[in-house]
């Protein structure tokens, strides 16, 4: 299955994506994880991304598109994948459509995790205490939520029009949300 998981920062995308990918036996491809790994290893890509990442801004589309295009050519993504955190802009939606159509493929389902803003902010502030992620400060979280509302939330309408949007309430414990996702995906 070719699947996307979307939702605001802190919605539980990365958390839930790990289990969904395992259950469906497809790779979990997170652009955020790719950037964090590159920043940790201080690669050129990591240094380029850090300028934007640190401020809660999106890394430019041409950089992110190139990474995803390459990652989707790997053998493990031949029969399906779960993209987490991509696409996030209309340019990324169009780019993904193009690279998939060259292989006569398309996205089959888009899973949206819905959450109340105070809940996601509390989760991210908790993660800041536990993990000290550089983009989990109050100021940067506010910026990330703003960028999500402006650039990414409107994309959900496009997937709704295509009839492939599956909305799941992302509130509740990790296992409660996991159950809701399983139910929604099996329908």
What is the smallest separation between the CB atom of 76 and ligand B4P, expressed in angstroms?
20
The residue among 86 and 159 lying less far from ligand B4P, judged by its C-beta, is 86
Only segment of 21-29, 31-39, 71-79, 179-187 that touches ligand B4P (CB under 6 A): 31-39
In whole angstroms, give the CA distance from residue 87 to residue 157: 13
What residues contact residue 72 under an 8 Å CB cut-off, 6+ apart? Answer: 29, 81, 99
Q: Does 67 bind ligand B4P (CB under 6 A)?
A: no
Single out the residue of 1, 19, 24, 52 in contact with ligand B4P (rule: CB under 6 A).
52
CB distance 24 to 3 below 8 Å: yes
Active-site residue 88, yes or no? yes
Of 80-139, which residues contact ligand B4P (CB under 6 A)?
Answer: 85-86, 88, 92, 123-124, 127, 135
Cα angle 79, 3, 18 (rounded to 5 degrees) comes to: 95
Q: Does 181 bind ligand B4P (CB under 6 A)?
A: no
What residues contact residue 7 under an 8 Å CB cut-off, 6+ apart? Answer: 13, 112, 113, 114, 115, 170
Q: Does 56 bind ligand B4P (CB under 6 A)?
A: yes
Q: Does 58 bind ligand B4P (CB under 6 A)?
A: yes
Active-site residue 133, yes or no? yes
Choose, from 50, 55, 109, 127, the residue flagged as catalytic: 127
Choose, from 2, 36, 123, 144, the residue flagged as catalytic: 144
In whole angstroms, give the CA distance from residue 84 to residue 111: 10
CA max distance for the chain: 45
Burial of 47 (0-12, 13-18, 19+ CB in 10 A): exposed
Positions touching ligand B4P (CB under 6 A) are: 9-15, 31-32, 35, 52-53, 56, 58-59, 64, 85-86, 88, 92, 123-124, 127, 135, 144, 172-174, 177
């Amino acid at each position: 299955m070719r699947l996307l998981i979307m939702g605001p920062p802190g919605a539980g995308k990365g958390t839930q994506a790990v289990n969904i990918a395992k259950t469906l036996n497809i790779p979990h491809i997170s652009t955020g994880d790719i950037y964090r790994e590159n920043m940790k290893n201080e690669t050129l890509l990591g240094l380029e991304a850090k300028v934007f990442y640190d401020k809660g801004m999106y890394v430019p589309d041409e950089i992110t598109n190139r990474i995803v295009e390459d990652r989707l050519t790997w053998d493990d993504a031949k029969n399906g994948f779960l993209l987490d955190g991509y696409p996030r802009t209309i340019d990324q939606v169009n780019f993904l459509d193009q690279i998939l159509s060259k292989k006569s493929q398309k996205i089959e389902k888009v899973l949206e995790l819905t959450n109340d803003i105070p809940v996601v902010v509390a989760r991210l502030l908790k993660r800041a205490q536990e993990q000290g992620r550089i983009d989990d400060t109050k100021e940067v979280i506010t910026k990330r939520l703003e960028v999500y509302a402006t650039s990414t939330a409107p994309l959900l309408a496009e997937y709704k029009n295509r009839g492939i949007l599956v909305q799941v309430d992302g509130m509740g414990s990790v296992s409660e949300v996991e159950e809701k996702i399983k139910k929604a995906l099996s329908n």
